[in-house]
Amino acid sequence: MSLSRRSTLKALAAIGLSGAGTVAWMSSTSADERTRILVSAAQHKRDGDGLGWWDSSTATSRHVLSGFRGHSIIAHPLRAGHAVMMGRRPSMESVEVDLRNSKIVARVQSQAERHFFGHAVFSPDGAKLFTTENNLASGRGMVVVRDADNYQVLDEFESHGIGPHEIRMMPDGRTLIVANGGILTRPESGREKLNLDSMDSSLVLIDTQDGSLTEQHRIPYPKASMRHLAVARDGRVAIGFQLQRAAMDNDSVAPLAGVLTPGRSIRVFHEPVNVLREMRDYVGSVAVNNDAGVAAFTSPRGNLAAFWNIDTGSFSGYHTLFDVSGVTVTDDQQFFVLSNSNGHIRYIDANTLKEDKSRRLHAADVRWDNHLSYI
């Protein structure tokens, strides 16, 4: 609602939709030389759901329609310029997109009696894709292993919990970390939470060789659903929580973030209460800046990103941005990058936590969705 008619028409003309042509920077540079780009599941206000990205060569956003709402996006390790967008819970579909040609090159369906939870990770050698999924018969969480080239299912094992959400690879390249949100949902009841009374969230480390559980961690807040996480290069894991307030018997402010050092228990961040209150029980995404030792936690309900030092556990600062959810870190670790559903992208200096306003980007007709990443 913030554009003039003239600028809107200009923006619409600049935004390419599905099949609208080749992105200039991609066609003119090799995969190795290319600049990494910001991608996100996105809704184009006129055309609908898809994968969106920021095209720095034209300073506009681009969009490939998917036909469903996506969640996280990861770079395909075997095919430069390709990304995999996972379907949002309880989607049974995900897609591989060729950003060079702005088209979907593969549609990946979940197996019978399974649906996706919106997150996935590739193995370090690029051979396998691990996805978090729901076993509809048992309600148990699964990690499904696919061939990264053709998406054929190779194997699957339990996530050792219910409602596995974000999944990442640990620095050893062998161990997965999975946030079991603990909340049971089923496709026939949509996004309705079916087990709030008995929900059991845990953070688990799983050996990819045999699916065995190597560590399982819980926090002393039984109605906190651990859902999103980011792994630092030293193996520490920043975790964001979502409180199920409707299942709680009090309105006390509770922690929404913490850090796990494998082999130890999760350290939660209790302060500052005023900031936690403003985050309104919800963290949407997490990112870690390795050089600064700071983790970012976004809260679209609170319209802010909050930062904690993962070494000391101390609060580092915050940045207010309407409906902010996506967050990632630049390759040089200089900035956190935030995105929101008004199409804004902002760069926050990782050391000062002040915004570099000269870097602001805006895609007026795009709603950047839950997660932002570089590919």
Partner 1 sequence: MNQRIKLTIITALVAFFISSCGGGSSSSSSGGTREDAVYTASREHVDNQLIPLTDTFVTQATALATAADNFCTTIDETNLGEVQQAWRNLSETWFRLAAYNFGPMDVDLIFPTFSFIDSFRVNGVNYTGTVRNLISNQIAGADTLDSAFFDALPFTNVGLLALEILSFETSDVGHSTVAGNIVSDYQLNARKCEILAGMAAQLIKHATVIQNGWQVDFNSTGTPYRTLFVDRNLDDGADPVATLIVAVQFYIDYLHKRSVVTLTALLSEHNWDNMSRAIDEVEVLLNGTTDTTVSFFSLMESAGFQAEIATVEGNIAAVRAAITAQDNALLEPALIALDGNFKREILQGINVDPGINFTDGD
| Whole-Å CA distances, 335 to 35, 235, 260, 359 | 16, 20, 23, 11
Q: Choose between 36 and 360: whose C-beta lies nearer to partner 1.
A: 360
Shortest distance, CB of residue 323 to partner 1, whole angstroms? 3
Smallest distance from partner 1 to CB 312, Å: 17
Based on the shown chain and the rule CB under 8 A, indicate whether residue 325 belongs to the binding site for partner 1. yes
Q: Does 132 bind partner 1 (CB under 8 A)?
A: no
Distance of CA 66 to the CA centre of its chain: 18
Which residues lie closer than 8 Å to 172 by C-beta, 6 or more apart? 235
In one letter, which amino acid is 198?
S
Provide the β-strand partners of residue 373: 39
CB of 105 to partner 1, least distance (A): 25
Nearer to partner 1, 12 or 127 (CB): 12
115 contacts partner 1 (rule: CB under 8 A)? no
Q: List the one residue out of 325, 263, 280 whose CA is nearest residue 118.
A: 325
3 state DSSP class of 247 = helix
Return the residue of 171, 211, 272, 293 that touches partner 1, per CB under 8 A: 272
**Of the candidates 114, 146, 267, 367, which one interacts with partner 1 according to CB under 8 A?**
367
H or E segment to which residue 9 belongs:
helix 5-14
The encoded tokens of residue 260 equal: 């796990």
Calpha distance 91→99 (Å, rounded): 22
Choose the binding region for partner 1 from 149-157, 214-222, 250-258, 289-297 (rule: CB under 8 A).
250-258
Contact positions vs partner 1 (CB under 8 A):
1-5, 8, 11-12, 43, 45-46, 71, 88-89, 118, 165, 191, 227, 251-253, 272-275, 277-278, 282, 284, 300-301, 303-304, 318, 320-325, 340-342, 344, 346, 364-365, 367, 369-370
